Amino acid sequence: MNARASARDQSEALLARAHALGADLLVMSAYPHSPLREFVLGGVSRFMLEHADLPLLMRHWQGRTGPGR
């Protein structure tokens, strides 16, 4: 996905892929952004909670992982 895509675009792509795979459940992590960023840009987690049409399992994530972290 394009890093500049909106939260709505990213969420809709995730849901479309989950449906294409025949998924019964979508598991994803969620981590907070500043209130201003959430207000201006929205958030994938919030959009998914409001619009997902299949069950979600979300885990709050405070850190980031990856090489050298």
DSSP of 4-43: TS-HHHHHHHHHHHHHHTT-S-EEEEE----HHHHHHH--
| Average pLDDT score over residue span 28-57 | 77
Residue 30 pLDDT: 74
| Tokens representing residue 2 in the block | 């394009």
pLDDT higher than 70, residue 44: yes
